[in-house]
Amino acid sequence: MKHASRWSLLAASLALVACSNIAAKDGEGPQTASSVKADAKPADKPAAINKDPFPSTYKSYPGGATAIRNVTIFDGEGGRIDNGVVFFENGKISGMGGADTAIPAGMTIIDGAGKYVTPGIIDIHSHLGNYPSPGIEAHSDGNEATSPTTPEVWAEHSVWPQDPGFSRALANGGITSLQILPGSANLMGGRSVTLKNVYARTVQGMKFPGAPYGFKMACGENPKRVYGGRGRAPSTRMGNVALNRQTWAKAQEYRKKRDSGKEYSRDIGMDTLAGVLDGDILVHNHCYRADEMALVIDMAKEFGYKVSTFHHAVESYKIGDLLKENGVCSAVWADWWGFKMEAYDAIPENAGILQNAGACVVIHSDDENQIQRLNQEAAKALSDGRRLGFDISDAAAIQWITYNPAKAMGIDKMTGSLKAGKMADIVLWNGNPLSVYARPDKVWIDGALLFDAADAKRRPVSDFELGQPGEGDVK
């Protein structure tokens, strides 16, 4: 199965690449120092950069005005309403409240007795599309592992919109938005893309309109193993930091030139790094160990950028105070551990300790199977936190997989909670989503009903699965 293989696969594919001459062609490190011409002539004002050359063409599908009543609501921002009402029309949430909330006339009414409503679930760390199913070499598009810094690559150029995994994430996990990141072979892996979990013919058709870009970085074992193994930098953790700092220094220089109003040589990777320094692109930094996170926080201060979120932050619990103070989220698994040395000190109480310390918690998957059960992963982390004596509400645990990831991805004004005016991204669960026994009953995205457990036709089937054994099965 694919779990074990994310990095055996990585190692195998890298070995292949190492044998080719691609690595040599790419040269060491970023290309900026040599490619930015120091003697660029002061000329006409350079043309403005198109910051959105692959614009979203996502369009929401139609959906009727709908109200769900007599239902338990977790609003995504830590609130809970028993016997509540939520309604939406024209793709937006138009109201939410207690039993006495007046439902506008003409709405389709769904009785939610015994059921629960949450905002659509959001996975901040996914490789659906760039490590899709089937997980074969031909589909291995997540790591441009030919240079330790590849800020020039964009995950959206690797996303295969026919990944069957999107349908499972929707039907079993209630996932309505997700961030697809480049892999972690490189210190600087490239731009991420945020998607609506709605199948489209093109990746542009899935892109979350208005979502800011993210930028993937990685600490620790992976970059030094991948490149050190080829006898090139970085081969140590100090090499990791040195190469990062050198690259950020170049980015500062590039940004200065860019903003000088004079002609400059365009560098696609540097555009991204300058975008991070501008504050337009959010940094998502794969970083397991607490000591390394602390170093990254200082490095970010040195160069004037901010880390949105540490991903796979299995040791965040050791520095909950520091993370709170610096306003950095931790995207964590409930309980993964022991698969490599930097995951050795992972504990199931990580999220609970962070929550108790007042730090921002996000539960993520990084996995095509667990993305189908983020609600269960949140529940396990909640349970382990409570067992340690912390008072954490069910609603707070739902926030870990809705509003908090939305905020960390910069889409919280549009989705992530059930506030009026936000996108009607909604899951109706057939029981408490923090129980193993609950499954999505219906899922709406922008008010369109895109999954209905009771309707075999209201279930997406990717091109890949058409005409195959099990096409349209319950999965």
> By rule CB under 8 A, what count of residues binds other proteins?
65
Q: Return the SS3 of 352.
A: helix
Buried-state track 19-42, b at ≥16 Cβ within 10 A, e below 16: eeeebeeeeebbbbeeebeeeeee
Q: Write down the least CB distance from residue 163 to other proteins, Å.
A: 9
Does residue 291 bind other proteins (CB under 8 A)?
no
Q: Is-contact 308 125, C-beta < 8 A?
A: no
Does residue 237 bind other proteins (CB under 8 A)?
no
Nearer to other proteins, 90 or 468 (CB): 468
C-beta neighbour count of 45 within 10 angstroms:
8
From the list 134, 210, 261, 304, which residue makes contact with other proteins (rule: CB under 8 A)?
134
Does residue 278 bind other proteins (CB under 8 A)?
no
DSSP letter assigned to residue 378: H
Q: Which span (47-55, 80-88, 98-106, 312-320) binds other proteins, by CB under 8 A?
A: 312-320
Nearer to other proteins, 85 or 110 (CB): 110
φ, ψ for residue 408 (rounded to 5)?
Answer: -65, -25
Nearer to other proteins, 262 or 439 (CB): 439
- With the CA atoms of 58, 63, 65 and 69 taken in that order, what torsion angle do they form, in degrees rounded to the nearest 10? -100
Q: Is-contact 65 88, C-beta < 8 A?
A: yes
Amino acid making up residue 344: Y
Q: Which span (89-97, 259-267, 275-283, 345-353) binds other proteins, by CB under 8 A?
A: 345-353
Does residue 205 bind other proteins (CB under 8 A)?
no
Does residue 212 bind other proteins (CB under 8 A)?
no
- Phi-psi bin for 416: left (phi > 0), alpha (psi -120 to 50), beta? left
Greatest C-alpha distance within the chain: 71
Q: Give the C-alpha separation, 140 to 132, whole Å.
A: 8
Does residue 210 bind other proteins (CB under 8 A)?
no
Q: Which span (248-256, 278-286, 411-419, 429-437) binds other proteins, by CB under 8 A?
A: 429-437
Residues in 367-396 that interact with other proteins by CB under 8 A: 368-369, 372-373, 376, 379-380, 383, 387-388
Q: Write down the least CB distance from residue 291 to other proteins, Å.
A: 12
Q: Is-contact 284 179, C-beta < 8 A?
A: yes
Q: Write down the least CB distance from residue 420 to other proteins, Å.
A: 31
Nearer to other proteins, 3 or 59 (CB): 3
- Phi-psi bin for 86: left (phi > 0), alpha (psi -120 to 50), beta? beta
- Listed residue (212, 209, 210) closest to 59, CA to CA: 209
Q: Is-contact 378 354, C-beta < 8 A?
A: no
Does residue 125 bind other proteins (CB under 8 A)?
no
Nearer to other proteins, 5 or 202 (CB): 5
Q: Write down the least CB distance from residue 358 to other proteins, Å.
A: 11
Q: Write down the least CB distance from residue 98 to other proteins, Å.
A: 27
Stretch 48-87: interaction string toward other proteins, x if CB under 8 A: ----------------------------------------
Q: Which residues are registered as beta bridge partners of 121?
A: 175
Q: Which residues are registered as beta bridge partners of 74?
A: 80
Amino acid making up residue 302: E
Binding footprint of other proteins on the chain (CB under 8 A): 1-4, 7, 133-136, 164-165, 168, 172, 221, 317-322, 335-341, 343-349, 353, 357, 368-369, 372-373, 376, 379-380, 383, 387-388, 430-431, 434-439, 453-454, 456, 464-465, 468-470, 473-475
